[in-house]
Chain A
Amino acid sequence: MPPTLGSVNRLAGTHVYIGTIDVATPWQIQARAARFGQYVSPILADFDRYWSMRAGELQAAYDHFDDLDLTALDPAHLWVTLQDAYAFHRRAWFIHFEVMYVLTANYLAFYALAEEIGLEGSQVSSFLAGEQTFYGKTDEQLWRLAARARELGIGGPLRAASPREAISQIQAMPNGTSWLSDFNSFLATYGQRTEETCRIDTPSWIEDPSAALYTIGSFLAKPAGFDFHAARAAAVAERDAQIDAARGQLSGDNLQRFNEALASNQAANFAWWNEEHNYLIDRRAAIPARRVTLELGARLAADGVLNAPDDLFYLFKPELFGVMNSASGNNAGPKWAELTAMIPDRRAYFEHWRTRGPELPTMLGTIPDTVPDPIMIEVFGLSGHFLQTLKGAGGDKGEATAEIRGFPAAKGVVEGTAKVITTVADISKVEPGDILVCGGTTTEWTPVFGIITACVCDTGGSLTHAAIVSREYGIPCVVGTAIATQVIKTGDRIRVDGRAGTVQVFA
């Protein structure tokens, strides 16, 4: 985008902090603006065709990698396949950011237009709600599997036991194998996802279905189930009513511009894509490289070079590629023994930083007054209010504040009991009827929106995952509060007003 070179990663241990790289020189901004226009205009002119090409390319690659029988490949072929999988990973992320910037620009232009013609910019995302996504379908399937487990009388193990025990217990039950085969065919379609983005070391649901089983268990705790058709119909009706109301306020040129901007955003819809693309990119792009790496690791472990197949995840890519190249006689690179000696320390380092995760501060370094990158503002929520609140919160963490303000992300007013969750690993602690208070959500949090009554996040803007999903589920949501997880304690009585963007804490 013209005013920014994107983001830069700063690492605190294994945790990634994202910083902006602002473009300061006017000539660069001008040159980037010209290139941006030439690049984006044709894509927006026919987004459907463009995205189907990109999605088709990704799907073709997955079909290729999924069909490979890795155990049958000879060593040279396996090494080539590993390089190929890494090359694909890079390509997938190129597509990710290409589409992301195009759609964000389209959305932000609509946002700016809305403000110019007398609407609220924050309404724009609600004009774009109600689209079916792959993750919406996943949740619907999980609810269906929960209902079927109840019918077949096998809900007990799913609610009580750990996932691994649950599977063996269900297998022993009369209707168990029927449900498990249903569950496995669900995984074949919907299980090509890891629990985190950009993490080659995390398994897919097919390898480890714990997350899916946990979710089904938590749905069983809410006997009414969740009526997806009613929720979607309500989201669509609400969206259409908002669009009609906006049109009612407009006339002439403003109305025409509104209609054109809306049509452009309906065709190239960020709110839809933000959820949809996770299936094809964020949660899947690393799976081919992961599978090939694990096959290579298994062979090396069998030869006694490694202790465990997943040791390879603790090497940097240049280390792994260097030792593989030198093993195939291409150059003098590192030796396996030098690399494997470092692996125990690296495992300990990862574990140390993993446990530190929840206590790390929201931002590091000097907090600016504003950031120029619209993605940082709308997706990650670095609004002026957020930054000011974060500065103010520096000294008196934990002190009770009667009212917290944030970005009004999804309308509705709900009063209830807060459940503060700081890591996705604790998501199974969320119970039906809770108000979720968290740092921010990503795809793996989506199923929980079917059981909570409201959502409050430290970070986020109008395009944040929690904001989009709350609108789909029809629950109030306030994001970008900066301090909710510090001020609110689990068990607090709170009142969330999703239209005003406020959270009252009664303690």
Chain B
Amino acid sequence: MPDGYAVTVDALAGWLPPAARAELDQLLASGPEASTEHPHRRHHEHEAHHRHLALVAGRAREIIEDQPLPAWLADAVAAAHARLASRTGRGAALKVAVRSSAAAEDGASASFAGQYATYLGVTGLPDVLGAIRRCWASGFSAHALEYRRRAGSAGSSGGTTIEDHRLAVGVLELVDVRSAGVVFTMDPVSGDRDRLIVEANWGFGESVVSGQVTPDHWEVDRSSGRVLAEHVSAKGSWSVFDDDAGVVALRPLPTELAGQASLSAQEVGYLCQAAVRIEAAADGVPQDVEWAIARGLPFPDSVYILQHRPETTWAPGQRGAVPEDRDPAPPAAPEPDPRAPDPTPDPKAPDPRAKAYDPVAYALRNVFRVPGA
């Protein structure tokens, strides 16, 4: 793990001044209720619903970002940040990643991942404090509101309230990344638990996670550690940190790196072992593990595990956790903050009801006679 500190859920729970809090609660309670009940009935209701969400999100963020953090919280962050700058030896040049994590996020039943903002390459205390506020505000993006409504975490009202907004923020040293990517402790295509899948590219992991390039791909046998398949792709682009814009951006990959494997065999093996240990610590639930390899550090100190989460596509109870409404949502409203691009949350799973016959459901019910299947 990169070194860092966290601003906890409880620390952030009561930070908004009462006036802003009241305004926000009123805003969240408003809305075209009829369309939230049956948003799949009519397309124009979809549109109205999403226009409303975008309005709510935009206004909520204005309200929140206007408020300075209370002095006690700003002081605590300043102290933690100074300690981190000293521990890492970077001093004032310390670059950090500020990322949010919802208390309800990354549960095994429905993925909240990617609904909240991450700010990379932040330097200096004032910018860090601003990023922490914006991270917290990102919990009120149109995507996040819609996602929480659909996943039912906001309770029976179908809306969301400020009480539901339980978000922590992590501040981590920004690693000078050489290569990055993901390890799946289960083949996400077939569900085969005997093999681990490693996907990697040069540079930051965004190019891999967002699916913007065809990454290098390894399939590794869990028990023997043997590489069963290796595909080094041409890649063509990579995610690099743009210091001027303060964002990770996709750029053409230098020709000397294109077609070259972005990981050594030793690194592939080490990442797989680490991922298996993480899975074991997570009660054996299959995980996807994001990692990065730092430039200029000796192996294996160079290997950073960034985050892991259950493979929700395969985890038990998914069908039950997704509400009845399985229509794909229309394209969401553009984000007001260009530094916080959220991916579209809707699963692309086909609606099983569109078919008259599902072989697996049929086998469970009529062949294996599983009660209640």
A-side interface residues toward B, CB under 8 Å? 1-3, 26, 29-30, 33-44, 49-50, 53, 56-57, 60, 84, 87, 91, 94, 98, 105-106, 108-113, 116, 253, 256-257, 260-261, 264, 374
Contacts and interface: CB of A to CB of B under 8 A. Distances in A.
Nearest to B373: A33
B359 A43 contact: no
A91 B316 contact: no
Interface of B: 189-192, 194, 219, 221, 223-224, 226, 228-229, 314, 316-318, 355-364, 366-373
Contact of B362 (A3, A57, A109, A256): A109
Contacts of A113: 357, 362, 366
Nearest to B362: A109
Contact of B356 (A3, A35, A60, A260): A260
B191 A42 contact: yes
A41 B368 CA distance: 16
Contacts of A1: 368
Contacts of B219: 57
A50 B191 CA distance: 11
A38 B356 contact: no
Given A26-B371, A57-B229, A60-B229, A41 B366 contact: no
A37 B361 contact: yes
Given A37-B360, A105-B363, 13 more contacts: A2-B370, A3-B370, A40-B360, A44-B359, A49-B189, A53-B189, A57-B228, A87-B221, A87-B223, A105-B359, A108-B363, A109-B367, A257-B357
A459 B137 CA distance: 69
Nearest to B194: A94
Contact of A109 (B192, B194, B221, B366): B366
Contacts of A257: 356-357
A216 B298 CA distance: 64
Given A2-B370, A30-B372, A41 B226 contact: no
B367 A374 contact: yes
A203 B94 CA distance: 67
A138 to B, nearest CB: 28
A361 B185 CA distance: 46
Contacts of A94: 194
A105 B190 contact: no
A113 B365 CA distance: 11
A43 B191 contact: yes
B316 A34 contact: yes
A30 B369 CA distance: 10
Contacts of A253: 356
Q: Specify which of B192, B362, B369 lies most central, judged by the most chain A CB atoms within 10 Å of its CB.
A: B362
B368 A33 contact: yes
Main secondary structure of the interface of B (DSSP, over half): loop
Contact of A2 (B194, B224, B361, B368): B368
Contacts of A112: 362-363, 366-367
A260 B194 contact: no
B316 A87 contact: no
Nearest to B367: A108
Contacts, number: 102
A39 B363 CA distance: 13
B248 to A, nearest CB: 31
B189 A42 contact: yes
Contacts of A50: 189-190
A33 B194 contact: no
Contacts of B359: 44, 105-106, 109-110, 261, 264
Most buried by A among B194, B229, B367, B370: B367
Contact of A91 (B221, B362, B370): B221
A26 B221 CA distance: 33
A2 B317 CA distance: 17
A209 to B, nearest CB: 32
A16 B318 CA distance: 41
B357 A260 contact: yes
A245 B168 CA distance: 64
A179 B190 CA distance: 45
Contact of B366 (A34, A35, A116): A116
Contacts of A84: 224, 226
Contact of B191 (A3, A38, A53, A57): A38
A49 B369 CA distance: 30
A1 B373 CA distance: 14
B313 to A, nearest CB: 8
Please give me the 10 A-B residue pairs with the lowest Cβ-Cβ distance, nearest first: A112-B366, A109-B362, A260-B357, A109-B363, A257-B357, A33-B370, A105-B363, A108-B367, A256-B356, A109-B359
25 contacts: A1-B368, A2-B364, A3-B369, A29-B368, A33-B368, A33-B373, A35-B316, A36-B364, A38-B318, A39-B191, A41-B358, A43-B190, A44-B360, A57-B229, A87-B221, A105-B359, A105-B360, A105-B367, A106-B359, A109-B360, A109-B362, A253-B356, A257-B357, A260-B356, A264-B359
Contacts of B372: 30
A103 to B, nearest CB: 10
Contacts of B314: 38
A2 B366 CA distance: 12
A412 B107 CA distance: 59
Contacts of A111: 367
A424 B109 CA distance: 53
B273 to A, nearest CB: 17
B20 to A, nearest CB: 44
Contacts of B355: 260
B194 A91 contact: yes
A476 to B, nearest CB: 28
A486 B372 CA distance: 44
A57 B366 CA distance: 34
Q: Which one of B194, B229, B360, B367 has the highest number of Cβ atoms from chain A below 10 Å of its Cβ? A: B360
A110 B358 CA distance: 10
Contacts of A98: 192
Contacts of A42: 189-191
Contacts of B362: 109, 112-113, 261
B250 to A, nearest CB: 28
Contacts of A106: 359, 363
A36 B360 contact: yes
B357 A256 contact: yes
B108 to A, nearest CB: 12
Contacts of B191: 38-39, 42-43
A261 B356 CA distance: 9
B265 to A, nearest CB: 16
Contacts of A38: 191, 314, 316, 318
